[in-house]
Structures are given as structure tokens and as C-alpha cells.
Amino acid sequence: MISLELDERYSRQVLFRGVGPEGQRKLAASRVAVIGCGATGSALVSLLARAGVGTIRIIDRDYVEPSNLQRQSLFDEADAAESLPKAIAAARKVATFNSQIILEPQVADLTPPNIDSLLEGAQLLLDGTDNFETRYLINDFAVKNSLPWIYTAAVGSYGVTLNVLPGRSACLACIFPDPPQGTFETCETSGILNSTVNLAASIAATEALKLLVGAEPQLRRTLLSFDVWWNDRAEIAADRPRPGCRACDRHEFPHLAGEGRAHITLCGRNSVQIHERHRPVDLVQMSERLKPHGTVRHNDFVLKFWRDPYEMTLFPDGRAIIKGTTDTAVARSLYARYVGT
């Protein structure tokens, strides 16, 4: 890595007294994991990479498509045309503006069986996901391993973020003991402003920098929410764990144990993810096998198969996203018919 004394890249950040030369060295030695590289995740990756965080692991299960380009800042039309996995596309784009840092793209769905290997070595976890199931899984892992993480979400014009310092502040389960029930907004039903995404990610990235340079007294200890359209803002105290919290107090981690884990309907795409079968798939051979049944194309990272009215995206680890249904039984049936059991 180029010495900080000779490199002008971070000079304006080093001039900021909250960072300084020593803080910049700490950033260069830092290892973070960003889970989910959609709207908030791609903004987080970009901000942290430009700030000089030394190693960034990018974990995402999804691929780029045209509807992402309005708000997902690391992707372009070529990525969407090729259906590149978001983790791969993000790492490629970051490498064009900061070749000094280490990028570790992981095309994977974070689940209880793989969470230890995917998050190994990270000193801070950042939330770029789109569902509470994965956030509770991250929370269980972080609290159990005393690892800080930052919860961040955005939908419509509303954004929210929370710093979780296990044992020292409230965790996600302290604030939300149970997942939201019934109907709640998603980007599919309510849309999303890219300005909401960027504000939420900017706040979270700033908190990440504070933590990584050792400025813990400056960390915010509230759940902060805001609405950029209606000019609303609120904060809920989160400076200490809640007595009786299943994670902080009782040390119960049901999401980490995989209890009741179901298939996930992906945000905004009328899709179901199939991840119950983990086995290597040769995309070249599979492409030849599927050609008689519909339209197929593939690259090194993903295979796309269209058979009206469905679209299947198949990954080399056997995971698939079935677009055109939210019925897991239909998705399983299509997977079994065309990929196998």
C-alpha cells in the first residue's frame, strides 16, 4: 500500500481532526463486511472504499437489473445487461477508483450454515439487506461474538439506522423484540428515493468511520429515523441493552440456530429464492441442457433461463432466484423440473 505521507488520495480526510494521520492508518488496517449490496449496501461500499477502509468484504446473493440503476450507485447499464452478481459488479467498480484496498466479493446468501465463514475476520458488520430475517441473523451473530454492527434501512422517503455495540448498547432485538407483523412497506409497494438511500448510508458510514478510528465517545447511541420528503425526524434511546432481551440478556440466538427459517421473497421483484439445495452446478452444461426448454444465456457467474411466464437465475452453488411467482411451492416445482432435486 502507498504510504499515507506520499499519497494525496486521503489528504482532505486526514486534515479533518476527527481522523488525522493515525485515524487514516487505522482505517487502512480495518476489515469490514457489508452484507447486501443493493441500494444502501452499494452506497456504503462506495463511501468506505473512498475513505480508505483497507479490506471490504461484499456479500450479496443477487444480480444487477435495470430497476436497480435509479438508486444503486456502483452499477451501470452494462452490469444490468450482463446480469452480473452485485458483489462482483461492485468490486469491479470500486477497483476503478481505489486500487489500493482489498475487495472480497462473495456471491452468497447469508444463512446460519455459512455465516461463520462469510463473516470471519471482520471487525465491523454493516447492514445493506432488505429483510428483517437476515438482520436478526446478523444481530444474533454480532451479539454472540461481541462484534459491532450498524443496522440501516431505507424505503420510500424514510430511512433509519442504529449502532449496535454488544453489551454496551441496545441491539436490534432490544428495540424490535419481534419481527414486524402483517403488511409493511417495501420498495415494491412504496418505491424509494435515491436521496433517502444516500442519506441513510452516509450517516451509517460516518458512524462506521468513528468506530474504526476509535472515536467511540462520538458514536450516536439512538435509533435515528427520518423522512426526507415530509421533513420528519425522531430518535429512540438505545444507549443500553434492554433487560430481558432474548439476545443481550438471555443469550438466546434462534435465528443463528436457523429456527423457523423460510424461503425469502425478494424485495420488489415478485421472486422467490431457492437456497435449500447446495451443490455445484456447471453453468455451461446446464445451459446446453436447458436450451430445448426455453431461452438461456450465461456468463462465468450466473445463468439466466426464461420459460414464460417465469425467469430463473441460477448461480454456480445451486442457488436460484425464480421470478414471476411468490409461491414457494411453484418455485420449488420449477427448480426440480429444470435443475433437479
Cα–Cα distance between 283 and 56 in angstroms, integer? Answer: 28
- Please give the C-alpha separations between residue 22 and each of 13, 30, 53, 105, 281, in angstroms, as whole numbers: 11, 13, 13, 28, 47
CA-closest candidate to residue 88, choices 122, 64, 54: 64
Catalytic residue IDs: 187
Cα–Cα distance between 225 and 260 in angstroms, integer? Answer: 29
The phi, psi pair for 234, rounded to 5°, reads: -150, 155
Cα–Cα distance between 253 and 249 in angstroms, integer? Answer: 11
Cα–Cα distance between 340 and 334 in angstroms, integer? Answer: 9
Sign of the torsion formed by the C-alpha atoms of 77, 80, 84 and 89:
positive
Cell of 320: 436460484
Cα torsion through 267, 271, 272, 274, rounded to 10: -110
CA-closest candidate to residue 153, choices 123, 192, 118: 192
Query: Which residues are within 8 A (CB) of 100 and not within 5 positions of it... i.e. 6 or more apart?
Result: 1, 2, 7, 9, 52
**Amino acid identity at 205:** A
